[in-house]
Amino acid sequence: MENETDHDMHEPTSFWTKYVWSQDHKVIAIQYSVIAILVGIVALILSGLMRLQLGFPGSFDFIDPSAYYQFVTMHGMIMVIYLLTAIFLGGFGNYLIPLMVGARDMVFPFVNMLSVWFYLLAVIVLMASFFVPGGPTGAGWTLYPPQAILPGTPGNDWGIILMLVSLAIFIVAATMGGLNYVTTVLQARTRGMTLMRMPLTVWGIFMATILALLAFPALFVSAVMMLFDKILGTSFFMPAILSMGQQLDHEGGSPILFQHLFWFFGHPEVYIVALPAFGIVSDLISTHARKNIFGYRMMVWAIVGIGVLSFVVWAHHMYISGMNPMFGYFFATTTLIIAVPTAIKVYNWVLTIWHGNIKLNVPMLFALGFVSTFTIGGLTGLFLGNVVVDLPLSDTYFVVAHFHMVMGVSPILVVFGGIYHWYPKMFGRMLNDTMGKFHFWGTFLGTYAIYFPMHYLGVLGVPRRYFAYENYDFIPESAKDLNAMISVMAIFVALVQLVFIYNLIWSLFKGKKAGDNPWKATSLEWQTEHTPPTHGNWGKELPVCHRWAYDYSVPGYEQDFLPQTFTGQPEGQKA
Give the footprint of other proteins on this chain (CB under 8 A).
1-3, 5, 107-108, 175, 178-180, 182-183, 186-195, 213-214, 217-218, 220-221, 224-225, 228, 232-236, 249, 251-254, 256-257, 260-261, 264, 323-324, 327, 544-545
> Which CB atom, from 108 or from 420, has the smaller least distance to other proteins?
108
Query: Measured from the CB atom, is 140 or 192 closer to other proteins?
Result: 192
Report the amino acid identity of residue 432.
N
- Cβ nearer to other proteins, comparing 500 with 538: 538
Distance between CA atoms of residues 365 and 72, nearest Å? 30
Residue 191: CB atoms within 10 A of its CB come to 11
Q: How far lies 184's CA from each of 54, 217, 371, 467, in Å? A: 46, 21, 30, 47
- State the DSSP code for 498: H
Q: Which residue number, 49 or 106, has a Cβ lying nearer to other proteins?
A: 106
DSSP label of 396: B
Min dist CB 232 to other proteins, Å, is: 5
Question: Are 331 and 406 within 8 A, CB to CB?
Answer: no
- Nearer to other proteins by Cβ, of 319 and 374: the residue is 319
Alpha helices by DSSP H, 87-199: 94-101, 109-128, 159-187
CB–CB of 387/319 below 8 Å?
Answer: yes
Helix, strand, coil distribution of the chain in percent, nearest 5: 65, 0, 30
Dihedral angle computed from the Cα positions of residues 484, 448, 374 and 550, in that order, rounded to the nearest 10 degrees: 150
Choice between 315 and 486, CB closer to other proteins? 315
| Minimum CB distance to other proteins smaller for 200 or for 490 | 200
Closest distance between other proteins and the C-beta of residue 180, in Å?
Answer: 8
Whether 200 contacts 551, CB under 8 Å: no
Q: How far is the CB of 217 from other proteins (least distance, A)?
A: 4
The residue (of 335 and 432) whose beta carbon lies closer to other proteins is 335
**Cβ pair 193, 527 in contact under 8 A:** no
Give the Cβ contact number of residue 257 at 10 Å: 14
Q: Shortest gap between Cβ of 326 and other proteins (angstroms)?
A: 8
| Backbone phi, psi, residue 468, to 5° | -150, 160
CA distance 436 to 416: 9
Output 232 or 505, the one with its CB closest to other proteins. Answer: 232
Identify the CA nearest to 227 among candidates 129, 140, 145, 321.
Answer: 145
Closest CA to 350 of 368, 377, 376: 368
Residue among 74 and 169 whose Cβ is closer to other proteins? 169
Nearer to other proteins, 175 or 528 (CB): 175
Q: Who's near 383: CB < 8 A, 6+ residues apart?
A: 389, 390, 393, 398, 402
Closest Cα partner for 140 from 466, 404, 575?
466
